[in-house]
A = this chain, B = another copy of it.
């Protein structure tokens, strides 16, 4: 696991405006992304307070040397795939150098300041070209809640506690936060209807997930051992895996969800590194009494000791009426990564266990992360019990599922005593009417 070092020092302050006390991007975070400054083309940047450091400009200004320069060169592109491929060594060297450059008292403050763009004027893009996108199902409370609809007495299928269940998602339709989402059409069939019809989705839902960016890949046919799996992770983001529940119910047998998910997924733009999250590692919560032990290929002592995360995850909604009335977004759910039944290392080890190759820029999703309590459910399917119990919003509106004009916002926050808390930035999209 990544060690705590000088870059995590809570006493560290930055000369960049807005960095100290920033809810997402204090100097202890330093996430990477792809941005366009006004009138400029795509380039990599680092979020710091209210600014974005232009990595290519900083490289050209001679601010990096050695492994940090190697990392900055790989990142000086319109995607971060090459940077992801380098792995942890150069990434850590770049982080250490960025921390020194952006800290109060930096000798190169003026040179670095010349490479800063105000974040407000920048456009954010997908950070990498996504080769394949895999969505897991490791949120055990979500799996239980969904399973309960079909099997009240035995909600989890027999494989759930043995297999980190996952499936292939659609990579092409992943979009960055801020991109509107078109309500899909599809085949819908009411349980009592004789035949399906084709029309706009009537049960549009979000799913609150952690996204995982793959760094160095593995060759086809060469599994990654669970103890080495963390070295294949480049970072993390928020992921909203939009779901059309009515399309899903009719299409998903026998091969799983397809068009009910492939119309779009939204991710947050900033890649939060494993280094930035090092202070927020926790032991994998013990399995409930009676649960089977993971098979040996999924079991690593260090991973069990410190391979999980404590990150709070939040869903908010902002309807058109709320916007018009000047009401702030309303929290629908507060959950977190504690509710993952499998660690990220277990997901990576399982994914490659049959020989499947992962590549830099592949994206994994955790699956919906619901807390066990009613205020922490990661989808409307759960919160409204499939639409039976509408939620009441500020202003008196209700929602069974999402309506046109609704914006859904995901946020993440990692905090613990003795560490400076960091966030992921927003993952937001607004629903457009069906065509």
Contact = CB atoms under 8 A, between A and B. Distances in A.
Interface string A283-309: 000000000100111000000000000
Contacts of A144: none
Nearest to A159: B250
A407 to B, nearest CB: 17
A356 B262 contact: yes
Interface stretch (A28-36, A93-101, A195-203): A195-203
A254 to B, nearest CB: 6
Contact of A220 (B137, B182, B350): B182
Nearest to A298: B198
User: Most chain-B CB neighbours within 10 Å: which of A169, A201, A263, A359?
Assistant: A263
Given A264-B355, A353-B259, A354-B185, A162 B435 contact: no
Contacts of A257: 167, 255-256
Contact of A168 (B169, B296, B297): B169
A258 interface: yes
Given A168-B169, A358-B172, A353 B163 contact: no
Contact of A131 (B171, B260, B359): B171
Interface in A135-178: 137, 147, 157, 159, 162-163, 165-173, 175
Interface in A371-393: none
Interface of A: 131-132, 134, 137, 147, 157, 159, 162-163, 165-173, 175, 182, 184-187, 189, 195-198, 201, 220-223, 244, 247, 250-260, 262-264, 292, 295-297, 350-351, 353-359, 362, 432, 435
Which 3 A-B residue pairs are closest in the complex by CB-CB distance? A256-B256, A184-B354, A182-B221
B198 A353 contact: yes
A295 B253 contact: no
A312 B316 CA distance: 55
A248 to B, nearest CB: 11
A410 B247 CA distance: 35
Nearest to A150: B254
A135 to B, nearest CB: 8
A354 B253 contact: no
Given A166-B258, A172-B357, A172-B358, 8 more contacts: A162-B196, A167-B168, A182-B355, A195-B292, A196-B295, A254-B256, A256-B256, A259-B351
Given A195-B162, A198-B295, A175 B354 contact: no
A187 B295 contact: yes
Contacts of A356: 170, 172-173, 259, 262-263
A81 to B, nearest CB: 13
Most interface-central of A163, A260, A350 (chain B CB within 10 A): A163
A350 B262 CA distance: 12
A134 B132 CA distance: 12
A147 to B, nearest CB: 8
Given A353-B259, A354-B263, A250 B166 contact: no
Given A255-B257, A435-B221, A171 B170 contact: no
Most buried by B among A182, A251, A435: A251
A186 B166 CA distance: 14
A255 B256 contact: yes
Contacts of A359: 172
10 contacts: A159-B253, A162-B187, A162-B196, A167-B258, A168-B258, A184-B354, A198-B295, A220-B264, A255-B256, A262-B356
Contact of A350 (B173, B184, B259, B355): B259
Given A262-B356, A295-B198, A353-B198, A187 B163 contact: yes
Nearest to A244: B354
Nearest to A354: B184
A263 B355 contact: yes
A173 B255 contact: no
A157 to B, nearest CB: 5
